[in-house]
Structure 1
Amino acid sequence: MKIKPSYLKLLFLIFTALTSYTGNTQKHPNIIYVLADDLGYGDISAYNKNSHIETKYLDQMISDGLMFTDAHTSSAVCTPTRYGIITGRYNWRSKLKSSVLTGNSKALIKPTKSTVASMLKNQGYHTTFIGKWHLGWDWALLDPNAPEKPGWNAEDFNNIDFSKPITNGPKELGFEYSYGHSGSLDMAPYVYVENGMPTQVPDTMSGNSSKFSWWRKGPTSKDFIHEDVTPNFFRRSFNYIEEQSKTNEPFFLYLALPSPHTPILPTKAWQGKSNLNPYGDFVMMVDDYMGRLLKTVKDAGIEDNTLIVFTSDNGCSPAADITGMEQLGHYPSDVYRGHKADIFEGGHRVPFIVKWPKKIKKGIVSNEIICTTDFMATAADIVNYKLEDHEAEDSYSILPLFKKPNPKKPLREATVHHSINGSFAIRQGDWKLIMCPGSGGWSYPKPENEEVIKTLPEVQLYNLKTDPGETTNLQANEKEKVKALKTLLISYIKKGRSTPGKPQNNDAIDFEWKQIDFINKS
């Protein structure tokens, strides 16, 4: 039987229409990972019943998705946490053993290292970074042989050639498109870099010494306006989401905010809105922009199969005037001790919200312990990619928690925490062992409070179930627990991983790592 040409044409048109339809053919979800900067656990009203900051859009995101109550960053400061998110590996396995990078630091992550971006790119994703990088990249230099400068002072940037592209940045780590700045918003140089190229050569020096809106003096481009950096990053993210939604290609957007970190710069429309202080206003502004992002996703018709994560890189900073806020009844760390930089809970316990309508029911709460290093294994699990032994060494997939948020068996064997001075803690179940006498950071007792520190026990042991505020050190009465947790921590350090798999090597160093003296004493 002959088929009429008109029927053949009709069948062809039907086939073409079916194969080109983009509504439901995308297999993998879009992934948007939003990382706030210095936002405390108690700064979101759904997390803190006594919060004085209204965060209605993030509260709504919690109502529409999954809220983690026991989520942690791998470090209590910026750079190390970002390293863990991108690589799924603890930062102290790299050469960065303490503190953070500056605006002119060289690249911390080697281009050969697998990242969540490179992995997703290889699985067919379009990958984009927008925001605060703070992982180092290699600026072009006027004199390659000149000695390196630390990057804290204006003159430290005199050797940078801003007319030439950077190397070893987001592009080399798997991001097809990137737009952002090198360090924190209070760290020069104040220059946007798009796809590896500075958008403008800085022609002025800026700095500010106000209490809240403070930033170091340094080279500044005309298109870099501090007050507009956060809005600019959100606007570009909205545009990216809208454009990418028109394709049949899943996308990964890593939106790393510079806020509410200093300089604390709420726009005029938000000044005074919190009735608390400029920090409270800034948090409300970020919340409002998150509401716009959620609406952008919904209006683009991709809400159902878009996974959105919102979290913070560490706890609230004292620069936000924590003492002043507490006097008014707002506690950025809620019931937890300490704040940014500390080994105490306030340094690394953060809000962590996940929304994915296709896979996550509304209003779910998980009390499971998770870590920001878990993102890479989770993304790999979503796309059915089997991680190699040298990839994501400290990352556990939290994908099973989207269905069963409170499993009988713990997801992670244990979690390692890290403070700004490189002090360790290890958490297993209700127990947390801290391998230093004080905060390891900026709250009392500080490492530099030597007269106080020398009177304290060398380690601290807390049961967080009965003592979430870490007030009673049980190390003297629980010696076996101290020994067991210390042994586990040492094994994680020596094995080069904390997940099952073949042992790996930590990055080679040519200096003394004082924070692991306890290994030699064991």
Structure 2
Amino acid sequence: PIFDEAELIVDTNQLTIADVMKAEGYATAVIGKWHLGFGEGKPDWNGELKPGPLELGFDYYFGIPTVNSHPPFVYVENHGVVGLDPDDPIVYGKTAETKVFDEKFKIDKMGGAKAAHALYDDEMVGTTLKNKAVDWIKTHKDQPFFLYFATTNIHHPFTPHPRFKGTSEAGRYGDFIHELDWIVGEVMKTLDEENLADNTLLIFTSDNGGMINRGGQDAWRAGHRQNGDLLGFKFDSWEGGHRVPMIVRWPGKVEAGSRTDQLISNVDMLHSLASLVGYELKEGDAPDSYNMLPVLLGTTGEELRDNLVIAAFRPSNIALRQGDWMYISAKGGGGFGARNPGDHAFGGPPALKFAGEVNSDIEDGKFKPNAPDQQLYNLATDLSESTNVINQYPEVAEKMRQKLEEIRKAGSSR
């Protein structure tokens, strides 16, 4: 896990989207959840947090250094903790003076830094990040810019601003979604007010499916379905773990209301944006990224990506999507595995029972004795992955297993 003791996990020599945009004259910023580590070795939270975002192509960074569920509960700007008093440093083994919420963990791990912790108000994080994003856009409106805005909505703990509390019918989870909707709306309104909308490509997406943690369970009981009819939850190789929305707005370039069923992944952003700004990728750059810009612009009906590797939480459950087929190399979704309602990391067969989801390998929250060791689904006819058809189509599964092995050995998929 990439938390407070993790160094920067991205090689600073590796090409990033920010590198590409910066090379083509764009101002670059990341605002929000970082969660990729800082420094070399254990980060020095009382010193310079370097390397970090600024060493990966970004001109500016402000946000949550790890994630809003884990310490330190402070803001970081560029290379340092915001509001840190050298006479009151961050101290390991001391309880932080920070608000307590369910599914906010390890408050007792990193304390001290009273002034820095006081600036971090969980219920104001969404507003704070929104304000930073809007201000940055306004400051850079007269030049090309690239903003990666990683909101903490809707990662746990679910801490909506008081103005959004009780506005949904799905508890704090739903209220947090309402706040996210407002945040996105404020960014869009800013683009409109600054006359930037027609010349700005706006992409809204996520990095994983909804989680069935305690807040998620409360929302489910209230009737909210995080992942619709898709099977499974966050970290699963089942569709509910990784199939996410992707909404694109670019007036005059991307047709409003248009849809595509093309296979696309977040990793395709690098190649696609490089193509957009005219950056020429070199050999070895973006080894798993495909140029999907023609799909976004509606200039091709050709299938540009014919397969996609899906990595679940457990390496045993690595999966391959190819055409309409999904092959999973082990039983289950491979995600969280806590077994009881009320558990934070609730997942697997018991979670399917809780949610009333159906899968042919599972009965009453347990794997059937004769459940196959691998899985195969035809998503064209069974998007909910209710029926494992690996015994009916063993030759399809074997070809996909071989293809997955080829990709793993090659070290790239493109």
Give the TM-score category using the shorter length.
0.7 to 0.9
Unaligned runs of 5+ in 1: 1-99, 149-159, 500-522
Q: Does the alignment pair 1:489 with 2:404?
A: yes
**Which residue pairs with 2:105 in the alignment?**
215
Residue 275 to residue 446, structure 1, CA distance change in 2 (3 Å): closer
Partner residue of 2:381 out of 443, 450, 466 = 466
**Which residue pairs with 1:316 in the alignment?**
210
Residue 222 to residue 386, structure 1, CA distance change in 2 (3 Å): same
**Which residue pairs with 2:304 in the alignment?**
411
Greater CA drift, 196-205 or 468-477: 196-205
Distance 1:215 1:311 in 2: 26
2:211 and 2:234 in contact (8 A); partners too:
yes
RMSD: 2.3
1:279 and 1:320 in contact (8 A); partners too:
no
How far 1:453 moved relative to its partner? Answer: 8.1
**Which residue pairs with 1:234 in the alignment?**
130
**Which residue pairs with 2:96 in the alignment?**
205
**Which residue pairs with 2:357 in the alignment?**
none
How far 1:230 moved relative to its partner? Answer: 1.6
Structure 1 segments of 4+ aligned residues over 6 angstroms from their partners: none
Partner residue of 1:243 out of 126, 136, 139 = 139
How far 1:207 moved relative to its partner? Answer: 5.6
Equivalent residue runs for 1:369-408 within 5 Å: 369-404=263-298, 407-408=300-301
| Residues 438-475 of structure 1 deviation map (CA, whole Å, 9 limit, x = unaligned) | 1201222389x998487532210000111111111111
Distance 1:225 1:127 in 2: 26
1:432 and 1:463 in contact (8 A); partners too:
yes
Distance 1:226 1:183 in 2: 14
| Residues 380-406 of structure 1 deviation map (CA, whole Å, 9 limit, x = unaligned) | 01012221121111111111012327x
1:185 and 1:215 in contact (8 A); partners too:
no
Distance 1:408 1:244 in 2: 36
Residue 454 to residue 444, structure 1, CA distance change in 2 (3 Å): same
| Residues 137-157 of structure 1 deviation map (CA, whole Å, 9 limit, x = unaligned) | 127xxxx8xxx6xxxxxxxxx
Q: Aligned pairs, how many? A: 377
Letter in 1 for 2:267: T
Distance 1:365 1:320 in 2: 34
TM-score by length of 2: 0.86
| Residues 9-40 of structure 1 deviation map (CA, whole Å, 9 limit, x = unaligned) | xxxxxxxxxxxxxxxxxxxxxxxxxxxxxxxx
SS at match of 2:327: strand
Larger Rg: 1
2:173 and 2:219 in contact (8 A); partners too:
no
**Which residue pairs with 2:358 in the alignment?**
none
How far 1:170 moved relative to its partner? Answer: 0.3
| Residues 157-197 of structure 1 deviation map (CA, whole Å, 9 limit, x = unaligned) | xxx64332111100110001111222110110122221112
Distance 1:373 1:163 in 2: 33
Identity of aligned residues (%): 32
Unaligned runs of 5+ in 2: 337-346, 352-361
| Residues 43-79 of structure 1 deviation map (CA, whole Å, 9 limit, x = unaligned) | xxxxxxxxxxxxxxxxxxxxxxxxxxxxxxxxxxxxx
Residue 395 to residue 329, structure 1, CA distance change in 2 (3 Å): same
How far 1:210 moved relative to its partner? Answer: 4.1
How far 1:206 moved relative to its partner? Answer: 3.8
SS at match of 1:309: strand
Equivalent residue runs for 1:286-325 within 5 Å: 286-319=180-213, 321-325=215-219
Partner residue of 2:413 out of 488, 493, 498 = 498
Equivalent residue runs for 1:319-358 within 5 Å: 319=213, 321-358=215-252
Distance 1:474 1:162 in 2: 51
Q: Does the alignment pair 1:224 with 2:120?
A: yes
Distance 1:356 1:453 in 2: 49
Distance 1:209 1:292 in 2: 28
Highest RCO, 1 vs 2 (Cα 8 Å, sep ≥ 6): 1
Distance 1:280 1:369 in 2: 29
Distance 1:208 1:342 in 2: 31
Letter in 2 for 1:216: K
Q: Does the alignment pair 1:136 with 2:50?
A: no
